[in-house]
Amino acid sequence: MAISRKEHKLFITIDNIGPADALALMKMFKHMERLGNQGSSRYCTFYADGDGSFHPKVSFVYPIELPEVPEITGVDLEGDFKIDSDTIAWRIYHDPEPEDYVRPTHDTPPPLDYNPSKK
């Protein structure tokens, strides 16, 4: 079953973070807020220097239970994280596909009776 699109407050706590990383994250979140207010879409990145001083401990509190979406990792072939919430939105706001539905991939031909103009 699909979940509601109602907005709630997400609480994020980041422990074990230095002032430089805190400032960088705050700037990124303010930029994200500005993009939303302007109706503009961009990817926002943060360099996580894990072999340096960046070793955060992160916790989240959200008032409703969120579904798992394990098939959407956000990690690309180079190991970088780049995610689009629209991809997740399509998975959680719509009813699931029937059990017998086979999601086509680039190497899966459509069924012989496939007709995209049929509704």
- Each residue's pLDDT tens digit in the chain (119 positions)? 588 889 999 999 999 999 999 999 999 999 999 999 999 999 999 999 999 999 999 999 999 999 988 889 999 899 999 998 988 998 888 866 666 666 656 555 556 665 556 54
Amino acid 113: pLDDT: 62
Amino acid 17: pLDDT: 96
Rounded Cα gap, residues 8 and 55, in angstroms: 28
Amino acid 44: pLDDT: 92
Amino acid 114: pLDDT: 57
Rounded Cα gap, residues 110 and 113, in angstroms: 8
Amino acid 103: pLDDT: 60
Domain parsing of the chain, residue ranges: 11-92
Rounded Cα gap, residues 86 and 47, in angstroms: 23
Other C-beta atoms lying within 10 Å of the C-beta of residue 79: 6
Amino acid 94: pLDDT: 80
Polymer length of the chain: 119
Rounded Cα gap, residues 110 and 116, in angstroms: 10
